[in-house]
Structure 1
Amino acid sequence: MSLREMIDRKKIYIIIIVASALFITYLHHWMFQEDPRRIVLNELYYIPLLLGAMMFGLKGAILTYLLVSALYLPYLSEYWTVNVLGLMARLLHLLLSGAFAFLAGFLVDREKRRQKQFEKDRYLAGLGRVATTIVHDLRNPLIAILFFARRIQEGTGDLNMAVQTIINSGQKMERIVHDVLDFAKPIRLELKEESIEGVINRAYDSCKAKAEKENVVLTVNLSGTSLTILIDGFQMERALVNLISNAIDATAKGEEVAIQTFSAKNYLVVSIKDSGSGMDRETLENIFTPFYSRKNDGFGLGMPIAKKIIEGHKGNIWIDSQPGIGTEVTIRLPYKTN
């Protein structure tokens, strides 16, 4: 939520609190002036008190209490010289509502402090996990680089193999750093009207060689409708390539990965379905968690980045997976028809 939205929200709450207190006072002093049952209306003053405490904490509760007390004073003065018991009852109500406002505001402030500390602890714990994962992923290629660099220095072993291993390890480290930086910074989209069929076909072509190498049948079935979407073709292709590549990795040799599209009112649906082993509940729940991966060579950033790109296009992504049956990734994107 932006700062402007927070300010607007607070203004709305202030208006509701003041309006409710004034309305209750109006009922108290004018509509039910001669009705003895109007004493029940005293309890309605707890509504603005509770709203003030929930929205603004102790400070808001006290300010709301002062407002309510000022509005309540004329009703209190009716029995100032006439009925001592009535006056005591109203003074007691005033004291109890003050105690309620203080207690509610105190508890809300305490809960906010706890929530803030919890968020801070969770952030630090997540930061620690991220740092541990990055260090672990960088450690293995770094060890390989140092090992083969020493062999080159000593003049032992296969020189060409050592050089190639160093290059491969360096490229792996570069990929890790690139993915981390890419995930950390906001996705910047260069949106323009583009045919979604072209984007999907490019993603299909990029993954076709991998599918053939893994002996996986990769099929694409696009809807007959000519669809134009306000899209960043490069970033969307990148997200689709990641999703299709994951589907190929999960599919056994000879099985199929199917890419399909169909249009509905105001949006396009892209489906990527495999007949692999499926995902268990833990994997499915953490599939978009950064650095979570069950693959030996995975960094756990591909799916979060894909989700980030799709949501940047005002789209949605969800996954349906059943162990032993397969997984279907569904993407929904807004579009307009030519």
Structure 2
Amino acid sequence: MSRKSDASLAAAICAIPPLLTLMHVLLFQGLSPRVVLEELYYIPIFWGALRYGLKGAVFVYLVASLFYLPFFFGQWSVTHLDTLDRMFHLLFSGMFALLAGFLIDRDRSLQKLAEEDRSLRGIGQAATAIVHDLKNPLITILGFAKRIREGKGNPADAAQVIVQSAENMEKIVRDVLDFSKAVQLTCAEVDAGSIVRQAVDLCREKAEDAQVNLAVEIPRQPISAEFDSFQIQRVLVNLINNAIEASDSGQNVEIAVSQRARLLNILIRDHGAGMDDETIRSIFTPFYTRKKGGTGLGMSIAKKIVDSHQGRIIVSSRPGRGTEVTVALPRFRGMAGKRSP
């Protein structure tokens, strides 16, 4: 919440007690000494506690008490019992403010500790995963370097394996750095169909090697959309490559582009082994992977990029029936309020 809206909310909360007092004096003067709206003074106190914790509850209580004071005088407190009733109201509302503020502050502190604990566990898991992923290519590099030093085997072949392992390590480090950095967007109006075609072209060699056919369905007429073409292309290349790797030789991977109202939908469907519900729930978790040699960051980075565009990645899959991934993006900035069904 911005400072301006936060100040407006605080002013609205503090305005409730004087409004209640004014309303009571104007509407229920004939019912004195009864304070008909007495219990409503608890509402701003609770609201202040909910928004600002103990300090907010106490401050609003003091404001409410100040505007409750007129009921101690004149026709509102004819007898000692009336005065005693007003004092009990102030006492109980003060106790309520202290209790509500304390409980809400304690709940927030527990939530913060839980978040810090989850963050520390996540850092530990990430560090373990990174070390594990770097260890395998490092062992390979050390092993083949020793073979070269000892004059065993073909040095050229050993050097090639070392280079490949080093490139794998570089990819792991690059993925980790990409995931840790905030996504910087350079958005411009582009033809979405053209961006999808470029992503498909970047994946054709991989598809040909795997003998997988890429079936592309893109409308002939341009589809104008505003996004970072480089980042979205990264997402699509990752998703298409995933679909290719999940497919058997001779199968199709289907890529389709459509627009519905203000949304752009990019569908990528394979007919591979599919995923169970547990895997679907985990695929966006950093460092989770079922692929040999994968870093487990591809889908996390893809989601981060799509989220930064105020879009969604929707995954639908069943074991033995393949996987369908839809990237749903608002066609223009500020149109993210309307979601696809």
TM range, smaller chain: over 0.9
Please tell me whether the aligned partners of residues 76 and 90 of structure 1 are also in contact (alpha carbons under 8 angstroms).
yes
Give the 3 Å change call, closer, same or farther, for CA 311–294 of structure 1 in structure 2.
same
Partner of 2:104: 108
Partner of 2:139: 143
Letter in 2 for 1:53: A
Partner of 2:173: 177
Partner of 1:297: 293
Partner of 1:264: 260
C-alpha distance in 1 between matches for 2:155 and 2:211:
34
Partner of 2:151: 155
C-alpha distance in 2 between matches for 1:82 and 1:332:
68
Please tell me whether the aligned partners of residues 223 and 263 of structure 1 are also in contact (alpha carbons under 8 angstroms).
no
Partner of 2:161: 165
C-alpha distance in 2 between matches for 1:192 and 1:52:
43
Q: How many residues align?
A: 332
Partner of 2:283: 287
Give the 3 Å change call, closer, same or farther, for CA 85–190 of structure 1 in structure 2.
closer
C-alpha distance in 2 between matches for 1:114 and 1:278:
39
Partner of 2:7: 11
> What is the CA distance between 1:240 and its match in structure 2?
0.6
> What is the CA distance between 1:16 and its match in structure 2?
2.0
Partner of 1:314: 310
Please, which of 191, 194, 198 is the counterpart of residue 195 of structure 1? Answer: 191
Give the 3 Å change call, closer, same or farther, for CA 47–166 of structure 1 in structure 2.
same
Please, which of 128, 131, 134 is the counterpart of residue 124 of structure 2? Answer: 128
**5+ long unaligned stretches in structure 2:** 333-341
Q: CA RMSD in A?
A: 1.9
> What is the CA distance between 1:29 and its match in structure 2?
2.2
Partner of 2:53: 57
Partner of 1:72: 68
Write out aligned runs for 1:81-92 (5 A): 82-92=78-88
Letter in 1 for 2:95: A
Please tell me whether the aligned partners of residues 28 and 38 of structure 1 are also in contact (alpha carbons under 8 angstroms).
no
Please, which of 29, 32, 35 is the counterpart of residue 28 of structure 2? Answer: 32
Please tell me whether the aligned partners of residues 60 and 105 of structure 1 are also in contact (alpha carbons under 8 angstroms).
yes
SS across alignment from 1:131: helix
Give me the identity figure in percent: 47
Letter in 1 for 2:189: E
> What is the CA distance between 1:79 and its match in structure 2?
7.1
Task: Please identify, of 281-290 and 81-90, the stretch whose mean Cα deviation from structure 2 is larger.
Answer: 81-90
Please tell me whether the aligned partners of residues 260 and 272 of structure 1 are also in contact (alpha carbons under 8 angstroms).
yes
SS across alignment from 2:320: coil
SS across alignment from 1:39: coil
Partner of 1:233: 229
> What is the CA distance between 1:229 and its match in structure 2?
2.3
> What is the CA distance between 1:86 and its match in structure 2?
1.6
Please tell me whether the aligned partners of residues 235 and 309 of structure 1 are also in contact (alpha carbons under 8 angstroms).
yes
Give the 3 Å change call, closer, same or farther, for CA 93–144 of structure 1 in structure 2.
same
Partner of 2:113: 117
Please tell me whether the aligned partners of residues 33 and 82 of structure 2 are also in contact (alpha carbons under 8 angstroms).
no
Letter in 1 for 2:317: S
SS across alignment from 2:255: strand
